[in-house]
Chains A and B, each alone.
Chain A
Amino acid sequence: QLQLQESGPGLVKPSETLSLTCTVSGGSISSSSYYWGWIRQPPGKGLEWIGSIYYSGSTYYNPSLKSRVTISVDTSKNQFSLKLSSVTAADTAVYYCARQIGPYTIFGVVITLDAFDIWGQGTMVTVSS
């Protein structure tokens, strides 16, 4: 079945760029029925959506992070990636990648981004000098 696996450095220095990759196995990232998203969770806190990307490259970003975030997709490698620039200690978190249902039409309404139905196990990233 479909699996997602995050990879990347576990430690990033303040002011530098955090880079993570999510590898999709057991299915194609080029499916027209799904977006691919990043969500993070600071230690002991709740979930925060970072952004999502379609296989075509179309993206949606959390406005609160948009100025620092870039999400890209590499369909040849079945991967998508996250770059978060100018990191601070507040960016320390477990970062999850997930498959997001959408786009589709139901009852005449277009739903672009729906549920996150499959998640990676998450990777802890600490921002510290």
Chain B
Amino acid sequence: QSVLTQPPSASGTPGQRVTISCSGSSSNIGSNYVYWYQQLPGTAPKLLIYRNNQRPSGVPDRFSGSKSGTSASLAISGLRSEDEADYYCAAWDDSRVVFGGGTKLTVL
């Protein structure tokens, strides 16, 4: 049971906009930054979003993050086949880093 709650799966068609939610509590998302990681099949995770809504250099602006209260969301616009991956949210929670259980995104 993960501290942060994500839907196990999401899907969309090419060109579509999809969002992935991440629900937490006042001790994690409610009072700390949220991060998003993308894990392509068979590879290590890659930082996608940091400090709620900041993109590292090289990450397309199709990816965006937002936070409201104790929940956060990752939005992917102009969905592409190469976006098919697992997505994880993360946050600091009372002296530990916690991750969501991950969302498997399928591009139909």
A119: B residues at CB distance < 8 A: 44-46
Q: Is the CB of B44 within 8 A of A122?
A: yes
Question: How many inter-chain residue pairs (CB < 8 Å) link A and B?
Answer: 56
Alpha-carbon distance between A35 and B99 when the two chains are bound, in angstroms: 18
A116: B residues at CB distance < 8 A: 35, 37, 45, 47
Q: Does B68 contact A (CB under 8 A)?
A: no
B2 to chain A: closest residue by CB: A46
> Which residues 72-129 of A sit at the B interface, judged by CB distance below 8 A?
96, 101, 106, 111, 113-117, 119-122
On chain A, the number of residues with a Cβ less than 8 Å from chain B's Cβ atoms is: 23
Q: Does B62 contact A (CB under 8 A)?
A: no
On chain B, the number of residues with a Cβ less than 8 Å from chain A's Cβ atoms is: 23
B63: A residues at CB distance < 8 A: none
Q: Is the CB of A60 within 8 A of B95?
A: yes
B43: A residues at CB distance < 8 A: 121
Nearest CB of chain B from residue A45's CB, rounded to whole Å: 8
* New A-B pairs, 13, CB < 8 Å, besides A47-B99, A114-B35, A116-B45: A37-B97, A46-B88, A49-B97, A49-B99, A60-B95, A60-B96, A96-B45, A114-B51, A115-B51, A116-B37, A116-B47, A120-B44, A121-B44
What residues make up the interface of B, taking CB atoms closer than 8 Å to A? 2, 33, 35, 37, 43-47, 50-51, 56, 88, 90, 92, 95-102
